[in-house]
Amino acid sequence: MRNTSNMSTDIRAAVIERVKALNGDGSVDSMALANELGVDHGKLVDGSLKTLAAADRIAMEMVSQPRWNVSDEGKSYAEQGSPEYRVYQAVSAAAPDAATVSSLDESLGPASNRGRQQALKRKWIAFGANKTEIVLGPSASSGEVVDQVSNALKLLLENAGAPGDLPADILKQLKQRKLASSKPLKTYLLTAGARVDDDRVEATEMTKDMIVSGEWRNVAFKKYNFDADGKPPEGGYLHTLLKVREQFRLIFLEMGFEEMPTNNYVESSFWNFDTLFQPQQHPARDEHDTFFISDPARAGVMDEKYLERVRETHERGGFGSRGYRYEWCEEEARKNILRTHTTAVSSRMLYLLAQEKEFKPRKYFSIDRVFRNETLDATHLAEFHQIEGLVADRNLSLGHLKGIIHEFFKKMGMEKLRFKPTHNPYTTPSLEIHSYHEGLGKWVEVGNSGVFRPEMIRPMGIPEDVTVIAWGLSLERPTMIKYGISNIRDLFGHKVDLAAIQSNPICRLTF
């Protein structure tokens, strides 16, 4: 056993003896016990009593006893009498002559002013005929003058702050005049616990050795303290991007959108490009822009009929289109890649939607990671996150697209929007979204949008009268603006400062 615990072992033994000696009759007060044992009360409680109580060897019940701390001013009143009493004494000593304000000031100093007010209130003194004279008041002549304030303070000082049966109004007065303040004393009433006689060695946990040797029979296991505070977790902080993602998610959910399953980073070129009517010679499909997967390099099962419709549309068109008039190559479509945009997921979802028996309007969103074979710089990484929303319904117009985009961005506090024509292989018309940034004092591009082309959605089987509008933006851009980050490498990737992730505040987009 460690040396340091010898003393507390003795004390604990003494405590046990003391509560056992009660024989179930009454209790011992911890303060009285501390005095008996000659130890500090706080140390007795924390070092011994709580441990014994945890092992059920004693029971402790907290009691709070009133105690009052007398202030320095209070101490001086206890010694010299209260100012009001000293004023009364001076006036009474001058009788039958009247005292004056200046004579009191002279003999009592600063106590004169305060004492006069209190003594006047108590009617111990009164003003004489000409208002400069001070004479004894009506209470003084009826012989009721007792210096209760000073007496109460003396009593407190003599009884270590215990108020005994001092009346509540006197204590209230002491408190108001800042002569004493209440500071309850917390002690414990101690009695024998259920296991008072159980002096087995205490153990915190069962070990293999204890089981093998059978020693577990001879030890008392410590109870779990379910009230103990846990250690604050050192990990588990949400990455800044995830904080912002959650806010975007809430915006979409509030607008009635369903989240699309985006849990596949590896995608076939077919879903990423071909189904989106992106020609196979398109520069974005080059390995300078796209990461190709070497193993497995080729995507497997596909809906052959749909694949043929996609081929047909690329080669010869349909739905009012001439197509690209080149020979579409299935092998090219089967090349596995890291998806370059989440529109690949939107495409899969629209295809699934088209397979349903009866078309029902849908609103979908996704927020997840995409990959591009970029040259890295302060604003570009090879992987980033896209936010995408789409609405499929009958008779949607460009007005609906602009309207829903306005509503979406308004929820982030962006009210001033402009649309600029652009080109995407899979939308027509296509619109860039620009927003006036009050902080930067200029228009910034915040997203891309459009109406999905018939060449994309009709081969899937989406009904003729259904239009699909969609928009997309990066998660990084608004996050960098929101958190004042100028280099994307400080936000995402191996150079990120973990301390910043732990300390970045939660995100609130205004909505």
Q: What does the binding site for ligand PHE look like in residue numbers (CB under 6 A)?
A: 341, 343, 388, 424, 427, 448-450, 470-472
Smallest gap from Cβ 469 to ligand PHE, in A, equals: 8
Nearer to ligand PHE by Cβ, of 84 and 388: the residue is: 388
Smallest gap from Cβ 402 to ligand PHE, in A, equals: 13
Smallest gap from Cβ 503 to ligand PHE, in A, equals: 32
Nearer to ligand PHE by Cβ, of 86 and 341: the residue is: 341
Distance of alpha carbon 437 from alpha carbon 82, whole angstroms? 70
Nearer to ligand PHE by Cβ, of 149 and 451: the residue is: 451
End-to-end alpha-carbon separation of the chain, Å? 63
Distance of alpha carbon 158 from alpha carbon 74, whole angstroms? 13
The phi-psi region of residue 239 (left if phi > 0; otherwise alpha if psi is between -120 and 50; otherwise beta) is beta
Smallest gap from Cβ 453 to ligand PHE, in A, equals: 11
Smallest gap from Cβ 431 to ligand PHE, in A, equals: 8
Q: Can the peptide bond before residue 454 be classed as cis, meaning omega within 30 degrees of 0?
A: no
Distance of alpha carbon 41 from alpha carbon 63, whole angstroms? 14
Helix, strand, or coil here: 188?
strand
Smallest gap from Cβ 332 to ligand PHE, in A, equals: 20
| Helix H or strand E segment including 432 | strand 427-437
- Provide φ and ψ at 59, rounded to 5°: -115, 140
**DSSP letters of 360-428?**
--EEEEEEEEEE--PPPBTTB-SEEEEEEEEEEEET--HHHHHHHHHHHHHTTT---EEEEEEEETTEE
Smallest gap from Cβ 349 to ligand PHE, in A, equals: 12
What is the dihedral angle through the alpha carbons of 103, 104, 110, 114, rounded to the nearest 10 degrees?
Answer: -140
Sequence-ordered alpha helix ranges (H) in 214-273: 240-254, 269-272
Nearer to ligand PHE by Cβ, of 20 and 362: the residue is: 362
Smallest gap from Cβ 440 to ligand PHE, in A, equals: 21
Nearer to ligand PHE by Cβ, of 50 and 369: the residue is: 369
Distance of alpha carbon 19 from alpha carbon 487, whole angstroms? 69
Smallest gap from Cβ 417 to ligand PHE, in A, equals: 15
| Helix H or strand E segment including 78 | helix 72-80
Distance of alpha carbon 204 from alpha carbon 225, whole angstroms? 11
Residue whose C-beta lies closest to ligand PHE: 472
The answer to whether 18 and 35 are in contact (CB under 8 A) is: no
Q: Which of 409, 428, 421 is nearest to 470 (CA)?
A: 428
Number of Cβ atoms within 10 Å of the Cβ of 209:
9
Nearer to ligand PHE by Cβ, of 125 and 337: the residue is: 337
Nearer to ligand PHE by Cβ, of 108 and 470: the residue is: 470
Nearer to ligand PHE by Cβ, of 471 and 492: the residue is: 471
Smallest gap from Cβ 470 to ligand PHE, in A, equals: 4
Nearer to ligand PHE by Cβ, of 108 and 345: the residue is: 345
User: Over the Cα atoms of the chain, what is R_g?
Assistant: 43
Nearer to ligand PHE by Cβ, of 18 and 363: the residue is: 363
